[in-house]
A and B are shown apart, each in its own frame.
Chain A
Amino acid sequence: MKNIIKKIIFIVTITFFMESCHDDLNVSPIDPDSFTQEDVFANATVAKSALAKLYSALALTGQEGPAGQPDIADIDEGFSQFSRMLFNLNELTTDHSVVGWGDPGLPDLHGMSWSSSNDFTEAMYSRLAQSVSFSNSFIQNAEALTDPEVATFIAEAKFLRAYSYYNLIDLYANVPLTTVVSTDLPAQSNRAEIFAFIESELLEIQDQLPAAGANEYGRVDQVAAWALLSRLYLNAEVWTGTAKYSECVDFSNKVMNSSYAINMNDANGNGTAYDELFLADNDTNGAQNEFIFALNFDGLQSQTFGGTTFLVHASIGGSMNATDFGVNGGWSGLRTTKNLVNQFEVDPSAIDINVLNNSLNGTLSDWGLVGDATENAWDGPDMEMYETATNQYALYAVLTNGEMKFRFDEDWGNNFGDNDTDGSLEPDGTNIPIPNSGIYLITLDLDNLTYAATALTALDKRGMFHTDGQSLEIESIPPFKEGYAVSKFKNVDSNGNAGSDPTGDFVDTDLPLIRLAEIYLNYAEASLRGGGGDLGVATSKINELRLRAYGNTSGDITSGDITLDFVLNERSRELYWEGQRRTDLVRYNYFTTNSLLWPFKGNISNGTAVDQIRNIFPLPINVLATNPNLTQNPGY
């Protein structure tokens, strides 16, 4: 009996022990950086940190700056940052930029030969879809909270979701439309459905978001919803087949009538308030008043190898002095094509004639310019021209008001003038008048006996290029010296001081994704496309931008100057490298056609038209493989 009791106690003890061990299987995270859903959505204060992730998913790449614990797998973390990929897909694919690096898939972007397994198109798709999932989850969980400010959080989350879908519809056209997180494979939607969703969401939240300027810096208010609607409606015809230009005009008007203002504060006193938009203190130097939706970066607390850190470092190379840009060195990658450079009327004081003439890549010849418009008047010696090809001569020259002729070897025995100022030359012809002083590009064609004198006159300070050691023409993309470098983005503040990161690695400069200047141009374009806007208003708004660009009214235009092509070019000048060029060119049907060519478009040195399928990107091959509901975009 005693034995039996002993045995029973033994068995009970064993059973109890094993049972308690079974409870051990129910573990929960013990890592101090790991939190449960209950922790995060305990109250509005904590939930605000979850909201911050929705913003930082577009600005940063993971939970450990600058790299570590990445959001997106399968790509180098630095490359996976949203605005860096936006640059790759929307600027690098156009006349605005080339990059010298050979990372897989990267050269294919400018060359317009990307495939459905391109790393960057895939990572961008993942990034945007993930951003949608983050928002969906946040909205779902936050709805259980009753704090009044949570309603604003949710409206912001919906804005960010709409912004992600805006990019998805633009880049990939036909993607799944999801509003809740579910492991069920989603069905594919088309552009019209996604368009309708973005539109209805933005219309719904426009009054749930705080009034203009009422939210904290870095968080969006109702103007952001209007501005995104303006952009959405501008592209409606391309995306859905139904034009919505008058809606674009309406919502552009709402934005233009809000408290946002074009920055006119030339804080660093260099003659224009434009460059302040891209300086390290652009969250305080006045630029912030123009930023409707911007990504916030900080050299210490918001570190990434994307964002403005990428734009500043990657643009530096050759003879550029990294210290001038507030960083510790360059990555020798990005440059631009002559198409962008030629958009600008050049500031002569910023021009180094020798650099220009070197860029002709010619040899000094015996043909020269003579006359009182030239530096040595009629007495010579002549200004010798460069032979750029057989019987082709060119020279950049500073000329004064007067006359000139072409002459061989300082000898009147062989000279040309122009009898009727028609551009064709006659031996011993009449002197050629030069009406204004300035820098000219003079070309001479002895095969056809023609010439041209093109003035490089006015002074648009938005064109910020580094030309020393760089050639305007690009013969081969990889070497950094081919093509002008762009010095638009800097990590120095308005006083010239470098940003907060003492190591010079990471940049403080915030990056505007939507700013007021764009809305002016949306308004003008929608008006021209029949949206019913006032061209007079459009003209004065554009002149506001040009006043800032020139520092004076010399660049002003009249309403007669405003054509669709002018607006496109003005967008190029105002918004280059800010992530919109491809969308603009698609809207004009210039992206794939031969209406506009640029160096190495379609991988041909002079540029060529490409298949119109490239107006949208392919769905990533990996996504297609995981979700059989999806059909690939046509042509891929």
Chain B
Amino acid sequence: MQSVFSPRRARGLSLIEIMIALAIGSLLLVGLVQVFAASRAAYQTSEGMSRVQENGRFAMEFLQRDLRMAGHYGCVNDQAHMQSVDSLDNHFPVATGASWGVAFPNSNPAVGSPGGSIRGYEATNTEPGQTVTLGAATAGWTPALPPVIAALNPLPGSDIIEVRYLGEEGLPVINIANPSAAQTIFTVPAARWATFNADGVGAPTMFGIADCSFANVFPAAAVNPGAGTVLVNAFIDRYVAQPVGTALLHRAESFVYYVANGASGQPSLWRARADVAGTFPVGGREELVEGIESLQFLFGLDSVVDITVTPPSGFITQQSTGAGVVNNPMNWRRVGMVQVGILASSPDTAAAAAPQDAQRRRALGVVFAPPAVPDGRFRTTYETTVAMRNRLYGN
């Protein structure tokens, strides 16, 4: 019997057969590659879209949280404190460009304070209606950046905002002592000291004490977490310890939000925390969200124009960019609402075509033109309106 697979019966393929097989095979292969390429592009686009969406959501979450707290000085906000001399005392040296991080408000006009609870820096050529070309934005901000903020290397074409407030959670002051005529020691429950270490602040140095009448913001000369004490080189005797009084000790916060290059080389949203010297040390700079290419802010101003004569009404009637507010520095005290716009781009290329002129992304009226060399990133904008919860006193 002969086997079916006997070598004698193997004949091989002719050239024609091979050519036809190759032609059909390569045709199928090209089709397959096409299908794979299309599905890869679709995957990249949906991946880019979801990354952009989650980045935008996180950026908004951080910004909303801190903007809502701006102006929080305990029981009464900074606007109300500023109505009466000495209601809000600031024990920091008067802030200069080299110590701008500690530009907390001060209600004593004789001492004065150039800063405040909120302040924006409007990037040049980013007024509503203007166009910013990504990667080629005009440098400069209005007002000019203080040297300590310029040292953060913020990217042009993106607004910058600074906020100052007393931290969300205060600890009850259970003892107040004056060891000398120029010193005060506040004691809080040591078991709850961890409240002051929230958000990764290992060694808090800036504090504020407040009750429903007064507030004092000061640098700590020494802290002792084990005993729950904070030493201040100032004589502060106008508070009554709990439970008779209502004084709470808070950590004082001073932040700058800006856009700068992140670890990946892409623009990212950054937050810098000021230290007690008023600078923004490298250790206090955090890259919060990658792929945020631009921040835009509009400020809502109270209907009361001269807030030094008439208390604010809480009725927001005017909208302005940071550059518009700065025409009269007093206007920063009128801010009761902030509109935020962000431009988020995907961290990786997402097979997105450069948008046509009519379909360019816009945030708060600012138009973003694609980079000169298309980079295939997916981009979109998000906008939100934040009521400055603590300044809307009485509602």
A, B from the same assembly: no
Binding site for B on A (CB under 8 A): none
